[in-house]
Structure 1
Amino acid sequence: MLIRRERTGDAAAIDSVHRSAFASTDSPTPESGAQPAEIGLVHQLRDGSAWIPTLSLVAEFRDRVVAHVCLTRAGIGPFPVLALGPIGVHTDHQGHGFGSALMHAALGAADALDEPLVGLLGSLDYYPRFGFVPGTRLGVLPDDPEWTSHFQVRPLTAYETEIKGDFRYADAFYAL
């Protein structure tokens, strides 16, 4: 396994990862042209000001991109923070540590860049193993109250306790 930054030319492979990871039996068939929202989200994030190229990472296995994660600029009041997501692992490679490796790499990179905090919406059973806690525990709430139950944050080394308030994702997240 190799974890590296996304490169020019990786977009189609990243789309394939998210198509596989987020497809469901309830989704329209590929022939209908409908795709998981995460594909469009990544494209919109790439085209926006919240995109941080150094924090879009892929996992390669045998020269094939099999997983992807990105961290983008978010905010809590005047404080710049990061949002994690989407993260996806191709279904053929789930359960083999690719997602965990990407999480550790992304959080380590964010910490090395002196980012204070990462927020995400996700499984309360999965993300705590990476140090995520309910946002309410640190006084950080999503700006959409419907997200509160699954909103989590991961304080990093540069975190300071005055970073509290409403968490605002990049605009692309609200267009879903």
Structure 2
Amino acid sequence: MEIQDERPEDIDAIRTVNIAAFGRDNEANLVDQLRGIENTLSFVAIESEQIVGHIFFSPVTIDEKCSEELMILGLAPLAVLPQYQRRGIGSLLIKHSLEKCSDLGCKAVVVLGYPEYYSRFGFISAKEKGLKCEYLVPDDVFMVLELKNSALDGCRGIVKYRFEFQECA
């Protein structure tokens, strides 16, 4: 298994992975709309020369109190072809990409997801850091991971995703 940055020739395969993983094209459309926007990151998992997984990050903002210079990314989507799920590919994508996010200056990552899954990587309820999601979701599924210790000290408010998320809902 190899994890690498998305390349232009990967776009069609990434779209296929997202549609297969979610059973709809919303997430694939979202990635297509966000691709190329500043501070987005995209990684693929490759096995036997085939893209079998994908993870994407895009910038988010906090509307109340937080330094504007603080780069915070939202993880969405994470997708693995159904026939490759439950083999640790998603975990490999997360571990690799979080390291890359940190290397590129990202201080924190938020995610809407299963707490029992994302807590394995250090994510905690965003509420513990004074953050809420702009969407009406249970507190336990909106999570955050500080990539730099105490990066979110002094931050609080509602985390807002890019407008493209609403268009693809």
Query: Normalising by structure 1, what TM-score?
Result: 0.85
Give the one of 25, 42, 55 matched to 1:56. Answer: 42
User: How is 1:1-176 mapped onto 2 (pairs within 5 angstroms)?
Assistant: 1-23=1-23, 35-46=24-35, 49=37, 52=40, 55-77=41-63, 78=68, 79-146=70-137, 148-157=139-148, 159-175=151-167, 176=169
CA distance 1:140–1:17, change in 2 (3 Å): same
Percentage of matched positions with identical amino acids: 31
**Structure 2 stretches of 5 or more lacking a match?**
none
Name the aligned partner's letter for residue 43 of structure 1. D
Residue aligning to 1:29:
none
SS in 1 for 2:60: strand
Summarize deviations over 1:72-119 as a string: whole Å, max 9, x none. Answer: 111113343100010000011111111000000111111112211100
- For these two proteins, the number of residue pairs brought into alignment is 162
8 A Cα contact 2:129 2:152, kept in partner? no
In 2: Cα distance, 1:143 partner to 1:50 partner: 21
Give the deviation of 1:163 after TM superposition. 2.3
In 2: Cα distance, 1:118 partner to 1:147 partner: 18
Summarize deviations over 1:23-64 as a string: whole Å, max 9, x none. Answer: 1xxxxxxxxxxx3311111111115x3552xx2000000100
Give the deviation of 1:149 after TM superposition. 4.2
SS in 2 for 1:109: helix
Give the deviation of 1:172 after TM superposition. 1.0
CA-atom RMSD in angstroms: 1.6
8 A Cα contact 1:51 1:72, kept in partner? yes
Query: Normalising by structure 2, what TM-score?
Result: 0.89
In 1: Cα distance, 2:38 partner to 2:159 partner: 14
